[in-house]
Chain A
């Protein structure tokens, strides 16, 4: 079962005179863990939005082996989880962290059925696993940026998607929590048959399970392949236009800069 779950053929996104994505082709197989890496404004969020169905594009997009039409059907949406890049919320908005997590399951429930005890328990178990059970009864708007990010991740996981799109899920987190969230993402990846796309510009902190990198620059795909090859000082320095060093220690590659 190693068919392609995501297939881009010449995908182009244009807004006015700006070319946000320039003729991108890309295939992702089931259960792959792909990093989308590039500097600010490279088009990473745009690429995720195309997959999530939030962006008009030209070219062909196939998901789960079916070519996508203009209007996304509900079944496909259910199978794609989305963790947006920093989502804002009014501090006074009436929703608790646990309620926000439970919203992940309501697409599956369909109309006219409320999330019952079962969904609530599933959410609580997940929050315990993510070491955030103590946040359950706090209003979402009062949580810190990092805590909110974890809530957002938990709600996407609760949706039980086949593809999980994450847009800089570890931005705003301190190093310990970054590590914790990335480990958690790896754990979920091994436990479920999940295809992961993780957007980041932070090459100093990449999850170990991420074996493939797609490098984006200025709307163009400039590299697609093994992550260790991508993480060379030459490639990275060119991509970020800043001198970056890489070195290996204990069988792992590290990136550092002056």
Chain B
């Protein structure tokens, strides 16, 4: 059994899959801190569909799907950023329209593509087990960019997450930080089309942050817990998919949900609030 395990871990294919899981988990879960604390899950979902639609059309045109996805994300960020900044329209409605439009676009492309190429479905589910060298290189680059951003601008990020208007009033380049977050969202989402795909990635953009939200009041710990739970979900999902031979994307998402459920049930924050409420009764 142990020898068996050593054999498995020794295989370059598996090593690459493990690396892919760690990168996918890390990039999505660091980003999910922003998605959860800036209350922009709809932006996350729109961006992932933009990436998906962009990749599908890139495939149709015979160019690299990841760059197609990224370009589409940039366009979406360029439209969404200013729109959600406006106070005279409810951003939810615009995002809802945007999101369904992108989804329609993606499925239109899918319909045309599946007649010619079977590979299109991979963009929906991704696969941790079949990443190419360049795929991994892109993931390494995007993940490092994201981590460096958080490390270098931690204090600015804290205030922007807390209250964008106060951040602006305090003299921070709040807009620049917000647009960097949108840009990084596009980069993370499109580079992860290959790992968990354009549909399932949304789970990884929300659940790690939501898990951390159950567990800590410290923003540094928040990033750490989120990242740990994201990587944990990816690695355990990978293991399950290997053992039971099920699609890795679905296994990862189910594990992320399980981790969130556990955090929710055992949340000291929630329990403390409940206790307080009971005292008041």
Contact = CB atoms under 8 A, between A and B. Distances in A.
Q: Do chains A and B stick together as partners?
A: yes
Interface of A: 15-16, 52-54, 74-75, 77-78, 80-82, 84, 87, 89-96, 99-100, 103-104, 106-109, 111-112, 114-115, 139, 155, 159
A95 B165 contact: no
SS of B interface (majority) = helix
A92 B213 contact: yes
B202 to A, nearest CB: 21
Interface string B149-192: 00011111011001101101111110000000000000000000
8 contacts: A78-B171, A89-B163, A94-B213, A95-B158, A95-B162, A99-B158, A104-B170, A106-B170
Interface in B15-72: 37, 39
A77 B166 CA distance: 11
B166 A84 contact: yes
B116 interface: no
B279 interface: no
Contacts of A159: 170
Given A95-B219, A103-B166, A15 B156 contact: no
B169 A94 contact: no
A164 to B, nearest CB: 11
A190 to B, nearest CB: 24
Interface in B195-221: 212-214, 216-219, 221
Contacts of A108: 171
A91 B155 contact: no
B260 interface: no
A100 B162 contact: yes
Nearest to A52: B169
B165 A54 contact: yes
Given A94-B216, A95-B219, A111 B171 contact: no
A111 B156 contact: yes
Contacts of B216: 94
Interface core residue of A75, A81, A93, A114 (most chain B CB under 10 Å): A93
